[in-house]
């Protein structure tokens, strides 16, 4: 007979001992809360992404419960990476995903920061016109935003000084 392992959970009014659930199989469907925890994004963000990306189609059961397939989770992971790490806009990610068939989208692969996805057996690398002009691949546009704001504030000060000096 094997010993059962229990986890102690402090409920405030006392400690309860519960048996943790075994991990799900890799091919199992996931609920929205499981996907949100795995990707570290709020559930409402996942629901919002469903409205913006037609490729995200979770299975919906009675009462509207969402169940995500492993390929849906991989796609959501890719979208999260492109939006949060790579600095793409929603429109930019939509453009990247538009031409790639659903069955050919692979899981995100760690790399040098370039967005790569598989389409018809060929690797599709990020398209230059999706990035702001002058920003090389591998550099997140959001990383440069602070510098740009500082520059604009300095320019505003110069314009104010020039306009007050000409009066």
CB neighbour list of residue 35: distance below 8 Å, 6 or more residues apart: 46, 68, 72, 73, 76
**pLDDT of 140:** 60
Alpha-helical (H) ranges within the chain are 32-39, 43-52, 70-80, 90-98, 141-165
Spans of the chain, pLDDT less than 70:
1-22, 99-144, 167
Note the pLDDT tens digit of each residue in 26-70.
Answer: 788 899 999 999 999 999 999 999 999 988 999 988 888 889 999
**pLDDT of 36:** 93
Domain architecture of the chain: domains with CATH: 25-140 (1.10.1660.10)
Q: What is the pTM of this model?
A: 0.51
Cα(126)–Cα(105) distance, integer angstroms: 14
């Amino acid at each position: 007979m094997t010993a059962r392992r229990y986890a102690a959970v402090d409920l405030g009014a006392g400690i309860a001992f519960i048996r943790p659930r075994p991990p799900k199989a890799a091919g199992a469907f996931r609920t929205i809360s499981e996907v949100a925890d795995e990707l570290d994004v709020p559930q409402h963000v996942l629901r919002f992404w469903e409205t913006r990306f037609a490729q995200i189609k979770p299975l919906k059961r009675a009462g509207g419960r969402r169940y995500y397939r492993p390929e849906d989770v991989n796609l959501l992971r890719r979208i999260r990476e492109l939006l949060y790490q790579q600095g793409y806009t929603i429109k930019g990610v939509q453009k990247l995903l538009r031409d790639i068939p659903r069955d050919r989208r692979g899981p995100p692969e760690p790399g040098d920061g370039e967005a790569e996805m598989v389409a018809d057996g060929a690797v599709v690398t990020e398209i230059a016109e999706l990035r702001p002009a002058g920003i090389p691949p591998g550099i997140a546009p959001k990383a440069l935003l602070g510098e740009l704001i500082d520059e604009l504030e300095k320019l505003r000060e110069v314009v104010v000084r020039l306009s007050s000096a000409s009066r």
